[in-house]
Amino acid sequence: MPTALSANVRTAHGTSKGIEVDIYLLRIFQRQVANQCFAALMAAETAQSALNPVNQDVFWASIQNCLTAVANISKALWGQADKYVELRRPLRDSLGVADDNPLKPTSMRNNFEHFDERLDDWYATSTNHNHLDHMIGPPSTISGLADTDMFRVFDPTTAELVFWGKRYPLRTIMDEVRRLHPIAHAEGSKPHWDPRAPTV
């Protein structure tokens, strides 16, 4: 079963910086990126609507869905293991995605996905066991808390997610998702065979 963009199946092939490209699999990956871009955009739109009036449950559920979709984009573009980074380069090249793209990091999604582990680590190391979570507002408005006592925070003044003092530029991320979505959709809609090949 094909597992990489350089897989050997009966379809048109090309090259990208010396890497053999399987066009059929490339199109599937491009459509995956487009689908996850759409999912991220829908989740972000729902989160935005939940800010006025504020609905904490809807907002944070939507943020989690958005982070999951963005992480799926990252996994499609770079993989989850080093061996896939070069194999996925043809996909990134086809979509105009550089290796310093803001979609690449998945650390904030990991904070949400592995929240149970973060709680265990916090409880084992926190001095005062203060716990702030699901806050909408600038972290600076809360005094007397260590960064590691502040979990899921959204700063509306900067459109950043904050977790243990680490900031995630949500606005920058979503701007890139909006740029990438129509490109991935257009590329994924192209034929996966060589139109120059003779017909039978």
In a domain, 76, yes or no: yes
Domain count, the chain: 1
In a domain, 75, yes or no: yes
In a domain, 198, yes or no: no
In a domain, 6, yes or no: no
In a domain, 94, yes or no: yes
Q: 37 with 180: CB under 8 angstroms? A: yes
Q: Which domain holds residue 73?
A: 16-188
Please give the chain's pLDDT, 200 residues, in tens. Answer: 444 565 443 334 455 555 678 999 999 999 999 999 999 999 999 999 999 999 999 999 999 999 999 999 999 999 987 889 999 999 999 999 999 999 999 999 999 999 999 999 999 999 999 999 999 999 999 999 999 999 999 999 999 999 999 999 999 999 999 999 999 999 999 998 765 544 44
In a domain, 166, yes or no: yes
Q: Enter the tokens of residue 199.
A: 């017909």
In a domain, 38, yes or no: yes
pTM, two decimals, is 0.88
In a domain, 173, yes or no: yes
The Cα 148–Cα 172 span in angstroms is 24
